[in-house]
A and B are shown apart, each in its own frame.
Chain A
């Protein structure tokens, strides 16, 4: 590589890092406990448990439970019904003032799927994990916050790629994993920064890249609504909201018949962002580690209860759904979560040493070993 090319890559590495470091530190710090959000929530908050039943026990009639939900929340609208991924036997009912209210303000009522009994309505607002989650996803700034963090993620990816390029000239006289322990701190930290950075490159790229994808989730849903959902609804997209809803028990049963190898995951009620004005959409998930992350929608007429359509999700929705576990690290049991947490800590070390090296470099008079333009040659100057 020529000196001028190297200078350009160093410039990219320096500035993409400087622009994003503060936000990446925030993301790493808030993301660390979020890896264990399930365990933390269990520890900090009481949950009513569903009655234990032997496998194969038939679930309670969904229409009957919905009746109870309406009795408990008179005048309110149900937006979604979800089968809890983490806790089988628990149904989550998402309740709001109107069917088209902002889903972010939903209240969530938990019901026992087998007995149909009300369990509790946990208040997720103000929870430690909820605050961390909001900071981590949008810094309480909605879509613009998400897209901003996505941009910071893009800078992070640029910093990683330029880091890979400038790694080679630094290592010209050093062996892999060599730390010049007897040298001054800037040299030692430089060695650690380079070594740790290069060994966790794949993980950082995957978590950074999938993090960027996740910031586009709202937009992906919008695109899906305007394209595939509209196509599946056909003429039904202009149908007025039915005055009386068809049985959801029958709707789910009918949809199950279409996808016998899959399990229902969410039912979106008519008028919500995931359904039509007069149609239910039941989202099914598969039952293998990969397919349980993927969804397939079944559209059912909410007035007549008739089957309307089912299709595979478009590739961009599938990409988004697959990117989620790869970002959260919640798909390989507790050991993977712990590895995820340590890799997160290593990333924090890389960010801090990088920032330190920039500061240390500025302190050293120009032309000395650590000055930016000459920084790549430090490895050559140092006797090994």
Chain B
């Protein structure tokens, strides 16, 4: 019983690990461009754009698969 709960909480913590990291990076990136110009602007583009890069990373292989109409189950795993 306690083992089950333990494994459940462990599962929960990994569920939010990647999204939490993305949220922190993109959230802090929103402040970067306020802080300064030039370098800070570029940092904000990278940080705020991170979710888009992750989305493209997932979407790209799926769309390639779709075109080939391969019946295999496509799942892109990031971590």
Which residue numbers of A lie inside 8 Å of B, CB to CB? 167-168, 171-172, 175-182, 195-196, 198-203, 206, 288-290, 293, 322, 325-326, 331-333, 335-336, 339, 342-343, 346
Contacts and interface: CB of A to CB of B under 8 A. Distances in A.
User: Interface residues of B: mostly helix, strand, loop or mixed?
Assistant: helix
Binding site secondary structure of chain A: helix
Given A177-B78, A346-B52, A198 B19 contact: yes
Contacts, number: 117
A339 B45 contact: yes
Nearest to A349: B55
B71 A175 contact: no
Given A199-B55, A289-B34, A339-B49, A182 B73 contact: yes
A331 B48 CA distance: 13
B34 A325 contact: yes
Contacts of B12: 168
B74 A289 contact: no
A206 B78 CA distance: 26
Given A202-B23, A202-B24, A203-B51, A336 B78 contact: no
Given A177-B58, A202-B23, A203-B26, 14 more contacts: A168-B16, A177-B54, A180-B75, A181-B65, A289-B33, A325-B34, A326-B34, A331-B33, A336-B33, A336-B44, A339-B48, A346-B51, A346-B52, A346-B55
Q: Quick one: which of A168, A293, A339 has the most chain B CB within 10 A?
A: A339
B78 to A, nearest CB: 4
Contacts of B11: 172
Contacts of A182: 71-74
Nearest to B53: A199
Interface in B33-76: 33-37, 40-41, 44-45, 48-49, 51-52, 54-55, 57-58, 62, 65-66, 71-76
